[in-house]
Amino acid sequence: MPFRGSAGAVPIEVGAPRSFRHLLERGVFPLGVVAIVSLALEFGFYVSPVPVALLHCIQLLAVGLYATCRLLHVCHAPRRWVALRGLWLDGVILAGAGVVVLLGLEFSAAPFVAVSAVYVATLQVALGVRVVVKAVQLNLLLSQRVLQPTRFVVSAFVMLIAIGTLALALPRATSLELWQADGFSLFRHLLNCAFTATSATCVTGLAVYDTATDFTLFGQAIILIMIQLGGLGIMVIGSVLGILAGRQLSLRHSLVLQDETSHNTLGEMRGLVTFIVLSTLAIEVVGAVVLWPMFEGVSSAGERLFFSVFHSVSAFCNAGFSLQSDSLIAFRRAWPVYFGIMPLIVVGGLGFPVLRDLWHGLREWSEAVWHGRTGVQLGAAPRKRVLSLHSHVVLVASAWLVVVPTGMFLVFETFSGGVSVLSDGSADAMGLAGFPERLFDAAFLSVTCRTAGFNTVAMDSESLTPASHMLAALLMFIGGSPGSTAGGVKTASLAVMALGVWATLRGRQHVEVFGRRIPEVIVRRSGALFVVMAALISVVTLLLCFTEGVTLRVGLFESVSAAGTVGLSAGLTPELTGWGRLVIMLTMLAGRLGPLTVLVAMAGTPRTLRYEYPTEAVIIG
């Protein structure tokens, strides 16, 4: 039977000698590290600090040793066909690189050495993939020890942020104008790169560097990768790689995934992970197609494709990063904003458990229509509920949180925004638009405020009324739904808290909705989440008012945006001091992971008490 080593590694047969097996397993990782470092030195600098010829020699040596390790692995395996099947990922990369080389020799005048460099670089990417696989699947090694799942999730996000910071700090990731700017500081640059990496990984969208002008295409691609990894979740990506390599999810792995995806059923983790990845890719592809007409003015087709993919991923992951300096204000009158970006934000904020429920319900309905079983038959058993209680609560709460705030924004900016907007506001203020355009702006603002971070109108304190700013802060505090890429206290928690208040006012002992009773532990957890999130925002607002000297209104808006991983800014983020940026970075990380997750990770392993204290009432209210 195959040896169960690291989930990302190629399966090694037990029949191979133990020392040789360990040599093969341990040899791939350092070769991958060498490949990544050499690629960074060669392509990450405008002028490589190491002679390119020396780097090429190191790369050829690393690739040769890697190929030798793979060949020896197959030769020493008792079942060579099984070993070859485990190397399918390497085979795909090698074949793809070979096709690139053949096409380059056939249709271009490039010399063989130049085209072969593409092949070597592709092989180095393969080595880098192996390093990522091993690093992400480290939980299988850690599962042999006592490690709390929440701590592993926190450490995985911190690791991704650190890698993203180093990648964005490479000179070619940022523009030459930024490096040549007056007052440029290397320490401040590293801090800004760390801020950007944190914002991208935590799918927030707050930025101290202008994504459109301060980052090159290379840097924007790094940001896109971090958004995708941070949106799906580190453990989800690692699980997919493990499943593709033919591995089963361990119990510890499933526990981590259950904590990260907010899913209740432990035995369905494998199916949920597969659905998350496939549905994400399908939705983002459709989104890119819908957004394609919006970027008609982009210079080349390749750049237009990148713009479409970038904004589709950013919208579905609720990240809010845009390749325009003014977010989506320039496309305020473009229909893909409202029929492309808005649906992507809504679908991404519903959560994967809800999307899976909807998919199963749609499939059952289509099968019933196909077989003509849509009517109710006498004597037939009652049909089971298609959607779970969680999906019902999330869909109803999400619908209310779109319709009601749209009307409120429209009222605030129509009847109370005229004086301030006309006197000091931006020309892109909502209050200056006509009624139809203002209606679309209000609808978009009600959607984006809960987590996305895009904006089609100016968001500064002079362009929006105080009432609109307060409503936006409340929506950012609520956020999206559990199991999604959104932050905040979540729509389900808001619904449970509202139902709990209603049950208390009616004198009910239990919280009930849609013919079901919600467990008391869920009600307590929702209340704890509200209190912890409110405490986090209060502390961050206090720190921002102290370190930045801003008003309460601006500090509160920025802190809620960071804690809710929304990304909307009243203009404070680009002007933050070093201490202010550290505060916002930690807030974004806590908001993405969830304040309760961070506190549980800090508290350690819970202990079950074997005693109870006597009960005594406390006067409240």
C-alpha–C-alpha distance, residues 566 and 206, integer Å: 8
Label each residue of 38-101 as H, E or C: HHHHHHCCCCCCCCHHHHHHHHHHHHHHHHHHHHHHHHCCCCHHHHHHHCHHHHHHHHHHHHHH
Compute the average pLDDT of residues 193-207: 91
> Does the pLDDT value for residue 391 go beyond 80?
yes
What is the pLDDT confidence band of residue 191, given thresholds at 50, 70 and 90? very high
Is the distance from CB of 460 to CB of 571 less than 8 angstroms? yes
Q: What are phi and psi of 3, to 5 degrees?
A: -80, 130
Compute the average pLDDT of residues 83-107: 59
Compute the average pLDDT of residues 491-500: 90
> Does the pLDDT value for residue 290 go beyond 90?
yes
C-alpha–C-alpha distance, residues 441 and 184, integer Å: 38
Supply the pTM of this predicted model. 0.80
Give the pLDDT confidence score for residue 509 in this predicted structure.
84
Compute the average pLDDT of residues 2-29: 46
Residue 575: strand, helix, or coil: helix
What is the pLDDT confidence band of residue 244, given thresholds at 50, 70 and 90? very low
Mean pLDDT estimate for the chain? 76
What is the pLDDT confidence band of residue 403, given thresholds at 50, 70 and 90? very high
Q: Tell which residue, 306, 117, 330, has the closest CA to residue 222.
A: 306
Question: How many other CB atoms are there within 10 angstroms of residue 573's CB atom?
Answer: 22
Cβ contacts of 537 within 8 Å, gap of 6 or more? 477, 556, 559, 560, 563
- Domain map of the chain by residue range? 1-136
> Does the pLDDT value for residue 223 go beyond 90?
yes
Percent of the chain with pLDDT over 90: 19
Label each residue of 103-126 as H, E or C: HHHHHCCCCHHHHHHHHHHHHHHH
C-alpha–C-alpha distance, residues 331 and 318, integer Å: 18
Q: Which helix (H) or strand (E) holds 3?
A: strand 2-3
- For the stretch 349-368, pLDDT in tens is 888 888 888 888 888 777 77
What is the pLDDT confidence band of residue 469, given thresholds at 50, 70 and 90? confident
> Does the pLDDT value for residue 29 go beyond 70?
no
Give the pLDDT confidence score for residue 602 in this predicted structure.
59
Give the pLDDT confidence score for residue 34 in this predicted structure.
72
**Greater pLDDT, 272 or 328:** 328
- For the stretch 264-279, pLDDT in tens is 444 455 666 778 778 8
Q: What are phi and psi of 372, to 5 degrees?
A: 70, 35
> Does the pLDDT value for residue 1 go beyond 90?
no
Is the distance from CB of 307 to CB of 298 less than 8 angstroms? yes
**Greater pLDDT, 265 or 597:** 597
Residue 142: what residue type? L
Residue bearing tokens 């998350």: 276
- For the stretch 37-78, pLDDT in tens is 777 787 788 777 878 778 777 767 766 776 677 677 677 777
> Does the pLDDT value for residue 478 go beyond 70?
yes
> Does the pLDDT value for residue 217 go beyond 50?
yes
Give the pLDDT confidence score for residue 474 in this predicted structure.
92
- For the stretch 292-320, pLDDT in tens is 988 887 778 888 899 999 999 999 988 88
C-alpha–C-alpha distance, residues 458 and 436, integer Å: 17
Give the pLDDT confidence score for residue 123 in this predicted structure.
58
The rounded Cα 269 to chain-centroid distance in angstroms is 19
C-alpha–C-alpha distance, residues 482 and 491, integer Å: 8
Question: How many other CB atoms are there within 10 angstroms of residue 261's CB atom?
Answer: 23
The per-residue b/e assignment along 379-392, b for 16 or more CB within 10 angstroms, e otherwise, is eeeeeeeebbebbb
Give the pLDDT confidence score for residue 609 in this predicted structure.
67
Cβ-in-10-Å burial (0-12, 13-18, 19+) of 181 comes to: exposed
> Does the pLDDT value for residue 143 go beyond 70?
no
Is the distance from CB of 464 to CB of 430 less than 8 angstroms? yes
- For the stretch 165-176, pLDDT in tens is 998 998 889 888
- For the stretch 503-531, pLDDT in tens is 888 888 888 888 888 888 888 888 888 88
Compute the average pLDDT of residues 563-573: 87
Give the pLDDT confidence score for residue 513 in this predicted structure.
87
What is the pLDDT confidence band of residue 15, given thresholds at 50, 70 and 90? very low
Give the pLDDT confidence score for residue 516 in this predicted structure.
87
> Does the pLDDT value for residue 552 go beyond 60?
yes
- For the stretch 117-127, pLDDT in tens is 555 555 555 55
Q: What are phi and psi of 228, to 5 degrees?
A: -65, -45
51 to 83, 118, 125, 446, 555: CA distances (angstroms): 38, 18, 20, 54, 49
Q: Which helix (H) or strand (E) holds 594?
A: none
* Residue count (the chain): 621
Compute the average pLDDT of residues 407-415: 88
Label each residue of 281-330 as H, E or C: HHHHHHHHHHHHHHHCCCCCHHHHHHHHHHHHHHHHCCCCCCCCCCCCHH
158 to 201, 203, 441, 466, 589: CA distances (angstroms): 9, 14, 36, 36, 8
Q: For residues 306, 307, 309 and 312, what is the CA-based torsion angle, rounded to 10 degrees?
A: 170
